[in-house]
Structure 1
Amino acid sequence: MSTAAFEVAATASDVLNVIGAFAGGLLIAGALVWAVWLGMRVRDREPPRPRSEEQPHLPDTGPVRETREMREPDEIHQTERERLLPHELHHSGSKRGDDQNRKRWLPGSSGGFGSGGIGHV
């Protein structure tokens, strides 16, 4: 083939690439427009958002604070039966502990498994 035939084939290939890129861009733009339109239709079918007076408010006493307490398990007294039924247990299975001081690790101890400490020597 001559160089002129190669130039015509290369030019035709460039034109096809530009047309393909333009068609792909139109396809993506059309998909985005369709997605926005669909989202607007879905949002129109949703119930209206609550107004500010319908939003929850803080109690008059202020925000509720977290309470922290040390718990200990309830003692289970053995009966003549082999096991207790669920309604015979305390509702949470634990009670407030007598000692409310938080347990701390001993100085020089490793802390816990995998904590990276050197351990108690």
Structure 2
Amino acid sequence: MNTTVYTLAASGSALGMVVIVVGGVLITAALIYAVQYGIRIRRSEARRPGRGERPTLPESGPVHESREQRAPNEMGGGERLNPHELRPTGGTPSGDQHRPRWDSGSSGSFGGGGPA
């Protein structure tokens, strides 16, 4: 009876090893296929531009952001306007270019915990 138990245990572990090896081979094959598929896709894409084909900076140097305060457009009529009725914000530059700031010592939010 002991020999049959050892035989079953040995065959069970051998079967387990076969399953592990076959699973490992399948995973390895899937990874190799995925890499080859990625290489094929990359080759079919348009090539990257060379050094001479890339955009360059203008002669005047890099373009920087400009900030200015604009004068508000007047809302005639006293009625509430719908979004499609608003005029573009392309008003004239305001005479006062100072940006409004919060009070010193305040976080600027409601109940922000600043001094009362």
Q: Shorter-chain TM-score: which interval?
A: 0.7 to 0.9
Q: Does 1:30 align with 2:25?
A: no
Aligned to 1:112: 109
2-structure distance, mates of 1:94, 1:7: 92
How far apart, CA to CA, are the structure 2 residues paired with 1:26 and 1:64? 56
List per-residue Cα deviations over 1:8-40 (Å, max 9, x = no partner). Answer: 111111111111111111111111111122122
TM superposition score normalised by structure 2: 0.77
Q: CA RMSD in A?
A: 2.9
Secondary structure (helix, strand or coil) at the match of 1:96 reads coil
Which string of whole-angstrom CA distances, capped at 9 and with x for unpartnered residues, describes residues 54-86 of structure 1?
1010111111111122234311334xxxx79x6
Find the aligned partners of 1:103 and 1:15 in 2 and give their Cα distance. Answer: 78
Query: Which 4+ stretches in 1 moved above 6 angstroms?
Result: none
Matched residue type, 1:38 = Y
Q: 1:107, CA displacement in angstroms?
A: 2.5
Paired residue for 1:55? 54
Which residue number in structure 2 is paired with residue 70 of structure 1?
A: 69
Rounded Cα–Cα distance in structure 2 between residues aligned with 1:103 and 1:24 = 67
**Change beyond 3 A, Cα 1:13–1:88:** closer
Deviation at 1:3, TM superposition (A): 2.7
Q: Supply the distance in 2 between the matched residues of 1:113 and 1:9 (Cα, whole angstroms).
A: 75
How far 1:88 moved relative to its partner? 8.7
Q: Paired residue for 2:15? A: 16
The CA distance in 2 between the partners of 1:27 and 1:62, in whole Å, is 56
* More strand per residue: 1
Aligned positions, number? 114
CA pair 7-54 structure 1, distance change in 2 beyond 3 A: same
Deviation at 1:120, TM superposition (A): 4.4
Secondary structure of the residue aligned to 1:38 is: helix
Displacement of 1:41: 1.9
- The structure-2 alpha-carbon separation of the partners of 1:110 and 1:35, relative to structure 1 and needing over 3 Å to count, comes to closer
